[in-house]
């Protein structure tokens, strides 16, 4: 089970976590988790380039080391890279010291103060030690592209139904997401652009 739209109780449980940016302007933030991988990250980069927009990529350190050319392309084309742990660890199942060390290993590669815990799950004891060094970013809208039971059309509807000014939208550059992100990403971009929205990267809150 997962929530497409971040519910109130999650925001209450994690008051220091970022779920969205300012609601004042018609700006959306496309984010991509788990890459880079050659099977889908190039398609995402090509799509963003064709619409002349930028996104934020929460990268897994192990994938950065496996596919450094893709990682450097992401940076070179003006996208924001961010930390998603080195081994895509689930915080709830990992000792605090091991989890923090894994984040630090990824940080050596991404060199960013933006962090998203894989699965959107981390212990409060871990988060307390992460907050001083990172802005922890969850999301406003979860596309569901990772859900193999979800049709591409349903994935698209998830995004357009729940997104609004300042929404942080999650897609995935992983194998499971391929059929849904190939359909939804360009269609959603066109939908929102036709309604006057623009897109931006997630800059660390301290830089805003």
Out of 79, 84, 88, 172, which one is annotated catalytic?
172
Out of 25, 33, 46, 97, which one is annotated catalytic?
33
**How many other C-beta atoms lie within 10 A of the C-beta of residue 197?**
18
Q: Is 33 a catalytic residue?
A: yes
Any idea which residues carry the catalytic annotation?
33, 172
């Amino acid at each position: 089970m997962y929530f497409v739209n971040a519910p109130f109780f999650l925001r209450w449980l994690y008051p220091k976590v970022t779920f969205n940016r300012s609601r004042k302007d018609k700006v959306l933030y496309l984010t991509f988790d788990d890459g880079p991988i050659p099977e889908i990250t190039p398609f995402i980069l090509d799509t963003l380039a064709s619409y002349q927009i930028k996104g934020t990529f929460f990268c897994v350190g192990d994938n950065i080391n496996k596919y450094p050319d893709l990682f450097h392309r992401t940076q070179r084309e003006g996208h924001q890279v961010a930390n998603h742990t080195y081994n895509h660890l689930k915080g709830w199942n990992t000792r605090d010291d091991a989890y923090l060390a894994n984040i630090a290993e990824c940080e050596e590669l991404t060199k960013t103060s933006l962090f998203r815990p894989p699965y959107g799950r981390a212990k409060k004891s871990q988060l307390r030690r992460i907050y001083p060094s990172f802005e922890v970013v969850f999301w406003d809208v979860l596309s569901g592209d990772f859900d193999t039971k979800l049709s591409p059309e349903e994935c698209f509807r998830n995004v357009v139904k729940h997104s609004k000014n300042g929404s942080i939208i999650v897609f995935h550059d992983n194998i499971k997401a391929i059929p849904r992100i190939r359909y939804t990403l360009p269609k959603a971009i066109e939908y929102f652009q036709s309604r006057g929205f623009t897109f931006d990267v997630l800059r660390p809150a301290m830089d805003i």
